[in-house]
Amino acid sequence: MTVKTQLMDAVTMRRSLARITHEIIEHNDGVENIILLGIQTRGVPIAEVLQANIEKFEGRKVPAGQLDITLHRDDLNEAEKTERAHGSFIPCDVTGKTVILVDDVMFTGRTARAAMEAVIQLGRPKYIQLAVLVDRGHRELPIRPDYVGKNVPTSMEENVAVHIKPIDKDDGVYITE
């Protein structure tokens, strides 16, 4: 994997996530009944940053958890699903709440579809919204994020790699080949 270009550094990521936080607050007229669910793996620390930002900006701590979508993926057989599943942590009942799914990169839409299926199995949320750090296009399903840090047109030969602490040693977004 060769880095072609850096799209975001730590400062740019922080600013984008602060902007997304403000958009979430404004779009939902506050943070009442909001639950943040980070899609494993890199969606989890991004959801934690959004949670901290909401607490800083609004003075309220919203519940944040992590969602394992492995069992809902359409590209794995049953044995692979069982082998790869890590489990979710859902901090409260989703019924009647605004669930904001958080992920690092939006690509085909299949991850978002699997995440929606996982949430609906937990209960009946009032709304499901989607926040992503990077939207790279190439949708296979008619799904679009509500909150986007950066739109980046890419070719199918390129990949978008998000590095975020504590999973990675640095914070940054890169296009790789």
Query: pLDDT digit string (tens) for 102-157?
Result: 999 999 999 999 999 999 999 999 999 999 999 999 999 999 999 999 999 999 99
pTM (2 d.p.): 0.93
Contact assessment for residue 25 and residue 51, using Cβ atoms and an 8 Å cutoff: no
Q: How far is CA 170 from CA 42, 80, 110, in A?
A: 13, 30, 27
**DSSP-based three-state secondary structure for 57:** helix
Please say whether the beta carbons of 103 and 74 come within 8 A.
no
**9-13, 71-75, 150-154, 173-177: range with lowest mean pLDDT:** 71-75
CA distance 95 to 161: 34
> What is the average pLDDT value for the chain, to the nearest integer?
93
Cβ atoms of 130 and 106 closer than 8 Å: yes
Q: How many residues does the chain have?
A: 177
| Contact call for residues 170 and 163 (beta carbons, < 8 A) | yes
Round to whole Å and give the CA distance between 110 and 116: 10
Distance in angstroms (rounded) separating the CA atoms of residues 54 and 48 = 10
